[in-house]
Amino acid sequence: MELSEKRWIPVACALAWLAGSWVQCIASAPLPTGNQSSILVASISIFVVFLKGRKSGKLPFLLLSSFLLASARFSPPPKQSWSKPPDEGRPVQFCGQVLDSHRSDQGGFEGEIIPIPSKGGFPFRAHFPSISFSSRNNPPQGPRRFHGVLKKSSWGWQLNHLFADPSFQHHRGAFHFLTRTRNALRARLEENLPTPEAGLARALLLGEFKAVHPQRYALFRGLGLLHLLAVSGMHFWLWDSILRRLLCGRLRFLRPLLLLFAGGLAGFRAPVIRALSALFLRDWHHHSGKQVNAFHLWAGALWVECALLSPREQGLGFVLSYSATASLIWVNRTRGGNKTWRIFRSSLAASLATSPCLLARQGTLEPWSVALTPPMSLLLPPRMLGSAMACLPGSPGEMVGVFLEGLSKFENLILELIDQLPATPLVAPKISLSAWALFSLSSVVAMGLRNPKLRHITICFALLGFSGSLLYPKKGEPGFALLSVGHGLSAVTAGHQKSFLFDFGSMSISPNLLLRNKLWPHLRKNSWPVPREWALSHRDYDHSGAMKVFQKKHQSQQIFSTPGTFTEIEGMTPFQARLWNCPMRIEGEANAGGCVLELIGPSGRVLVIGDQFGRDLRWLCTVLEPGPIEVLVLPHHGRTTAGLPELLNHLRPREAWASCSEREADLAATPLLRKRNIPLRLTSEENLKWPPVENSFF
């Protein structure tokens, strides 16, 4: 496992580049995709390996590796072969090749399309994300002319109301065979297996994560086992081992072909590319009669992926995958201990290597992944074989379905029991990221060191980092934030000692995603503690739908207020927080009554209103101190004006916020605000924070 002196430079460059991406990832900065970041990371690599590279006479290898390193992060300028993009909301048309299509949960079909250059078309530089086809019968196959309405989203341009012209004829593309095969296999899985098992089989064979049942997906995600569902290196190493035993003698030549076919079915995504690269590089070395070093395979797969995929494909999954694999290679240099310890040591090393990135991006740690990954991995081979058997013609689909159902019941029993325990996952927004990164990396390095003296020194660094992460948590600045949840409301207030959650729901984001992708990352970004107290403006789903999931994961207390009065929320220094409860004047009236949150701080006042209108807003004018105030969160997402003019005149807010989706950007309250010269900010664009204080990442 020792690195060869003649071939260490590409490995060193790959390690340096991964280190640069890893640091950018834990800094919560966008992963590099442009020329400046390429030059920066290339310069770091040249600095790391230049001296030894020149002394050992391997300067050409150094320059070649540095060139590859830099070119991997370059984004070539787009070819301007079309005219200027049309205005948003204007109908457009283009020619495209359908790569994939499957039924969506909302009806119709979803898929991916590659645009084909043609005169009068519209330029798209990358694959489309999931697009819903208007047809409810059969998805469009092969090249077609597509019509749609252009819309600007957070990731770029998107088409709504997509329609495929069936009369358009074009030569069949290279992906047509794979598209038909994927659709046929998907149909057989849905026909032969129960719906939950068919969804899981589609994820394992076709890479379709959306097909997994949401409850099962949430279990795997919360316990840190999502890598078991991704079509990645572990799956292809299993397929390779199975095919080696099944295909002997003259049939051995079918193994690489079948592995390529499996990669095509999974869409040749980034994890598939890196897994196949490592397997084929290993086979090439063995065919040449050479012993291959694991780090050489690791670096070779990295460079192959850089050559084949665009930089935008190398995001968080790229950093996590290569970090975990590098840690596995490193700790397995030492063969001490029994086999069970070596297995769990590998799981521990992979979890530690990826934990700083997950903590930075999600605000969570996944300790149960260490213990559960090895035993849950044992269920993968029979599940993958059963899923493959269900695709074969003439297979006993009913028997396979019963077998996979029994396997799932056993798996769910274990996972649901573990899910009731704490730390599933462990939400730790106030842990010092730099101290935790020192602990994680020092622990991984210590597990792979052979020198006892160096190992003891490294363990001391690990203990120092661990104690620092616990004893010296990061302190965030107090503030108030309105989360971007689409049509819904979720407001977080943080003081010096604790934080408070006011409403937690959305009509467009599921409760688990709202918790995992919105609340936890925002707490981590601002180093705010997890709320232990909460209140609801009222019980509508778009204001309270995710509160049940939040309560399941965190023990918390609801704050109530008597109608017509207010309750003081204690411990919110430097804010004075009041929960006003509007009196119920008409029984049974929708959105009548309910709570309003008032914050009084050193920088001014903030008022957060739920769906109150009319009499409730006029009542607030009688009990609240007159303005000006800093921020008013508009009632009913800015869609109602009853009683709003009186409230605006009374409070005179310097800024108005509205929690709404992109489709609701044209608000009824906008003319009233424009008449009073009150600027309006929407959560459809970003999370809104007051006061606007930016914290450092470490």
- Mean pLDDT over residues 88-92, rounded? 59
Q: How many CA atoms within 13 Å lie on the side-chain side of 472?
A: 10
**What is the pLDDT, as a whole number, of residue 213?**
86
pLDDT computed for residue 154 by the predictor: 42
- Which of 43-47, 281-285, 348-352 has the highest average model confidence (pLDDT)? 348-352
Residue 113, pLDDT score:
60
| pLDDT recorded at residue 103 | 53
- 96 in a structural domain: yes
In this structure, the number of other CB atoms found within 10 A of the CB of residue 155 comes to: 9
Token pair 């690599």 in the structure block, residue = 45
Please check the confidence at residue 163 and state whether its pLDDT lies above 50. yes
Q: State pLDDT tens for residues 540-589.
A: 899 999 999 999 888 889 998 888 899 999 989 999 999 999 886 555 56
Residue 153 has pLDDT above 70, yes or no: no
Q: For residue 2, what pLDDT is reported? A: 44
Q: How confident is the model at residue 644 (pLDDT cuts 50, 70, 90)?
A: very high
Do 55 and 142 sit in the same domain of this protein? no
Please give the pLDDT value at position 399: 85
The whole-number pLDDT of residue 559 equals 92
Cis peptide before 140 (omega within 30 of 0): no
Secondary structure of 53-67 in HEC code, one letter for each residue: HHHCCCHHHHHHHHH
Torsional sign, CA 120, 124, 128, 131:
negative
Residues 112 and 144 grouped into a single domain: yes
Domain annotation covers residue 513: yes
- Whether the pLDDT of residue 74 is over 80: the answer is no
Q: What is the pLDDT averaged over residues 523-529?
A: 91
- Whether 160 and 22 map to the same domain: the answer is no
Tell me the per-residue pLDDT of 342-370, one tens digit each, with 9 for 90 and over: 889 999 999 999 999 899 888 899 999 99
User: What band does 339 get if pLDDT is binned at 50, 70 and 90?
Assistant: confident
CA distance 205 to 186: 9
Please check the confidence at residue 30 and state whether its pLDDT lies above 60: no
DSSP state of 361: H
Average pLDDT value for residue range 260-287: 88
Tell me: do 586 and 489 sit in the same domain: yes
Residue 332 lies in a domain: no
Q: Both 98 and 31 in a single domain?
A: no
321 closest CA partner among 260, 381, 233: 233
Q: Which domain holds residue 153?
A: 91-174
* DSSP conformational letter for 4: P
The CATH number of whichever domain residue 563 belongs to comes to 3.60.15.10
Sign for the CA dihedral angle at 662, 664, 670, 671 comes to positive
Q: Give yes or no: residues 592 and 498 share one domain.
A: yes
Closest alpha carbon to 75 in 39, 40, 38, 34: 34
| Percent of the chain predicted with pLDDT > 90 | 32
Give yes or no for residue 493 having a pLDDT over 80: yes
Q: Which two tokens stand for residue 532?
A: 């232990």
Judge whether 449 lies within some domain. Answer: no
Residue 676 domain flag: yes
Q: What is the average per-residue pLDDT within 590-594?
A: 74
Mean pLDDT over each residue of the chain, to the nearest integer: 79
Q: Which of 184, 152, 159 is nearest to 96 (CA)?
A: 159
Residue 128 and residue 291: Cα distance in Å, rounded?
42
* The last residue of a domain, from among 118, 143, 174: 174
**Tens-digit pLDDT profile for residues 94-111:** 666 665 555 554 445 555
**443 part of a folded domain:** no
Residue 290 in any domain: the answer is no
Least confident of 82-86, 325-329, 607-611: 82-86
Among 598, 663, 666, which Cα is nearest to 632's? Answer: 598
Q: Smallest Cα–Cα separation from 30: which of 337, 361, 465?
A: 361
Is residue 63 domain-shared with residue 95, that is, in the same domain?
A: no
Q: What is the mean pLDDT of residues 518-546?
A: 92
- Which of 167-181, 238-252, 508-522, 681-695 bottoms out in mean pLDDT, i.e. has the lowest? 167-181
Is the preceding omega at residue 691 within 30 degrees of 0, hence cis?
yes
- Of 72, 105, 123, which marks where a domain is finished? 72
- Sign, CA torsion 347/353/359/361: negative
Mean pLDDT in residue range 365-391: 91
User: What confidence score (pLDDT) does residue 136 get?
Assistant: 42
104 & 58 share domain: no
CA distance 46 to 61: 11
Please provide the size of the chain in residues. 698
Question: Domains in the chain: how many in total?
Answer: 3
On the question of pLDDT at 84 being above 50, the answer is no
Q: Does 40 lie in the same domain as 151?
A: no
**CA-CA distance, 275 to 62, in Å (whole number)?**
26
- What integer is the mean pLDDT of 478-484? 94
58 and 110 share one domain: no
Q: What is the pLDDT of residues 205-236, one digit of tens each?
A: 988 877 888 888 888 988 999 889 888 888 99
Region of residue 603 (left: phi > 0; alpha: psi -120 to 50; beta: else): alpha
Predicted confidence band at 183 (pLDDT cuts at 50, 70, 90)?
confident
Amino acid (1-letter code) at residue 565: T
pLDDT at 92 over 50: yes
The confidence score (pLDDT) of residue 23 equals 73
Q: Which pLDDT score, from 0 to 100, does residue 164 have?
A: 63
Q: Is there a single domain that holds both residue 518 and residue 642?
A: yes
- Given 20, 39, 72, the domain boundary residue is 72
Residue 124 lies in a domain: yes
Q: Could you tell me if 169 and 54 lie in one domain? A: no
Q: Quickly count helices (H) and strands (E) in the chain.
A: 24, 20
- pLDDT band per the 50, 70, 90 thresholds, residue 664: confident
